[in-house]
Amino acid sequence: MKKSYRLFCNGLVFTIIILLVVASIIPQTKAEDKKHVDLRAIIYVDDDASCPGSGTLQSPYCMIQYALDNANENDIIMVANGTYYENIIISTKGVHLRWYGTDIIGQDTGQPAINGSKLSDVIKVFANNVEIYFCSQ
Protein backbone atom coordinates (compact mmCIF):
# COMPACT_ATOMS: atom_id res chain seq x y z
CA MET A 1 0.00 0.00 0.00
CA LYS A 2 2.81 2.42 0.90
CA LYS A 3 4.57 1.73 -2.42
CA SER A 4 1.48 2.51 -4.52
CA TYR A 5 0.80 5.61 -2.40
CA ARG A 6 4.38 6.78 -2.95
CA LEU A 7 4.07 6.20 -6.75
CA PHE A 8 0.82 8.14 -6.77
CA CYS A 9 2.40 11.04 -4.88
CA ASN A 10 5.47 11.06 -7.14
CA GLY A 11 3.23 11.03 -10.23
CA LEU A 12 1.11 13.83 -8.81
CA VAL A 13 4.18 15.96 -8.04
CA PHE A 14 5.57 15.30 -11.52
CA THR A 15 2.25 16.31 -13.11
CA ILE A 16 2.08 19.53 -11.09
CA ILE A 17 5.65 20.44 -12.09
CA ILE A 18 4.86 19.83 -15.78
CA LEU A 19 1.71 21.99 -15.54
CA LEU A 20 3.68 24.82 -13.91
CA VAL A 21 6.35 24.66 -16.62
CA VAL A 22 3.75 24.70 -19.39
CA ALA A 23 1.88 27.58 -17.72
CA SER A 24 5.07 29.63 -17.54
CA ILE A 25 5.77 29.09 -21.24
CA ILE A 26 2.33 30.19 -22.46
CA PRO A 27 2.24 34.00 -22.66
CA GLN A 28 -0.35 35.62 -20.46
CA THR A 29 -2.35 38.38 -22.15
CA LYS A 30 -5.00 40.61 -20.77
CA ALA A 31 -8.10 41.54 -22.76
CA GLU A 32 -6.91 45.15 -23.01
CA ASP A 33 -3.56 44.00 -24.44
CA LYS A 34 -5.18 42.27 -27.41
CA LYS A 35 -5.26 44.39 -30.51
CA HIS A 36 -7.46 43.88 -33.55
CA VAL A 37 -5.38 42.87 -36.54
CA ASP A 38 -6.92 43.74 -39.90
CA LEU A 39 -5.90 40.99 -42.30
CA ARG A 40 -7.88 42.31 -45.25
CA ALA A 41 -5.98 43.03 -48.42
CA ILE A 42 -6.87 45.83 -50.81
CA ILE A 43 -6.87 44.76 -54.44
CA TYR A 44 -7.07 47.33 -57.25
CA VAL A 45 -8.75 47.06 -60.65
CA ASP A 46 -8.67 49.53 -63.56
CA ASP A 47 -9.92 48.90 -67.09
CA ASP A 48 -7.13 51.17 -68.41
CA ALA A 49 -4.39 49.03 -66.84
CA SER A 50 -2.16 46.61 -68.74
CA CYS A 51 -3.44 43.04 -68.57
CA PRO A 52 -3.43 41.09 -66.44
CA GLY A 53 -1.84 43.27 -63.73
CA SER A 54 -0.99 42.22 -60.19
CA GLY A 55 -3.72 43.93 -58.18
CA THR A 56 -1.55 46.62 -56.62
CA LEU A 57 -2.24 50.33 -56.93
CA GLN A 58 0.81 50.61 -59.22
CA SER A 59 -0.24 47.60 -61.33
CA PRO A 60 -3.99 47.03 -60.96
CA TYR A 61 -5.80 44.11 -62.52
CA CYS A 62 -7.45 45.01 -65.81
CA MET A 63 -10.58 42.95 -65.06
CA ILE A 64 -12.75 42.61 -61.98
CA GLN A 65 -12.82 38.80 -62.34
CA TYR A 66 -9.03 38.63 -62.05
CA ALA A 67 -9.28 40.41 -58.71
CA LEU A 68 -12.11 38.14 -57.55
CA ASP A 69 -10.15 35.04 -58.54
CA ASN A 70 -7.24 36.20 -56.37
CA ALA A 71 -9.20 37.56 -53.41
CA ASN A 72 -9.43 36.01 -49.96
CA GLU A 73 -12.26 36.29 -47.47
CA ASN A 74 -12.99 39.90 -46.47
CA ASP A 75 -10.58 41.42 -49.02
CA ILE A 76 -11.54 44.78 -50.47
CA ILE A 77 -11.52 45.14 -54.26
CA MET A 78 -11.28 48.77 -55.31
CA VAL A 79 -12.64 49.24 -58.83
CA ALA A 80 -11.66 52.33 -60.82
CA ASN A 81 -14.01 54.22 -63.09
CA GLY A 82 -14.49 52.76 -66.53
CA THR A 83 -16.45 50.13 -68.39
CA TYR A 84 -15.68 46.50 -67.69
CA TYR A 85 -16.79 44.14 -70.46
CA GLU A 86 -17.21 40.94 -68.49
CA ASN A 87 -19.62 38.75 -66.60
CA ILE A 88 -18.33 38.24 -63.08
CA ILE A 89 -18.76 35.40 -60.62
CA ILE A 90 -18.24 36.08 -56.92
CA SER A 91 -17.45 32.93 -54.96
CA THR A 92 -15.27 34.35 -52.19
CA LYS A 93 -17.04 34.83 -48.86
CA GLY A 94 -17.11 38.35 -47.50
CA VAL A 95 -15.45 40.07 -50.45
CA HIS A 96 -16.13 43.81 -50.84
CA LEU A 97 -16.35 45.44 -54.29
CA ARG A 98 -15.98 49.21 -54.05
CA TRP A 99 -15.51 52.15 -56.38
CA TYR A 100 -12.48 54.30 -55.71
CA GLY A 101 -13.42 57.39 -57.67
CA THR A 102 -10.73 57.92 -60.29
CA ASP A 103 -9.17 56.11 -63.19
CA ILE A 104 -5.52 55.05 -63.33
CA ILE A 105 -4.30 58.50 -64.35
CA GLY A 106 -6.19 60.16 -61.52
CA GLN A 107 -9.08 61.68 -63.46
CA ASP A 108 -12.59 61.41 -62.05
CA THR A 109 -14.55 60.05 -64.99
CA GLY A 110 -17.67 58.79 -63.25
CA GLN A 111 -18.58 55.46 -61.77
CA PRO A 112 -17.60 52.00 -63.00
CA ALA A 113 -19.98 50.08 -65.22
CA ILE A 114 -20.04 46.36 -65.96
CA ASN A 115 -21.24 45.47 -69.44
CA GLY A 116 -22.08 41.78 -69.67
CA SER A 117 -22.94 42.00 -73.39
CA LYS A 118 -26.30 40.33 -72.68
CA LEU A 119 -24.57 36.92 -72.56
CA SER A 120 -25.82 35.96 -69.09
CA ASP A 121 -26.22 37.52 -65.67
CA VAL A 122 -23.72 40.33 -65.30
CA ILE A 123 -22.94 39.47 -61.67
CA LYS A 124 -23.45 36.05 -60.09
CA VAL A 125 -22.89 35.76 -56.35
CA PHE A 126 -22.24 32.33 -54.82
CA ALA A 127 -20.89 33.46 -51.45
CA ASN A 128 -22.17 34.98 -48.22
CA ASN A 129 -21.50 38.47 -46.85
CA VAL A 130 -20.60 40.03 -50.19
CA GLU A 131 -20.72 43.81 -50.50
CA ILE A 132 -21.00 45.63 -53.83
CA TYR A 133 -20.83 49.40 -53.48
CA PHE A 134 -20.35 51.47 -56.64
CA CYS A 135 -22.33 54.57 -55.63
CA SER A 136 -20.82 57.98 -55.12
CA GLN A 137 -21.34 59.57 -51.74
Give the per-residue pLDDT at 22. Answer: 61
61: β partners: 45
Give the per-residue pLDDT at 46. Answer: 92
Give the per-residue pLDDT at 5. Answer: 56
Give the per-residue pLDDT at 136. Answer: 53
Give the per-residue pLDDT at 137. Answer: 46
Give the per-residue pLDDT at 52. Answer: 93
- In contact, 90 and 79? CB cutoff 8 Å: no
Report residues of the chain scoring pLDDT below 50.
137
Give the largest CA-CA distance in the chain: 90
Q: How far apart are CA 90 and CA 94, in angstroms?
A: 10
Give the per-residue pLDDT at 90. Answer: 93
Give the per-residue pLDDT at 67. Answer: 95
Give the per-residue pLDDT at 43. Answer: 95
- Give the three-class secondary structure for 39: coil
Give the per-residue pLDDT at 8. Answer: 56
Domain map of the chain by residue range? 2-30, 42-133
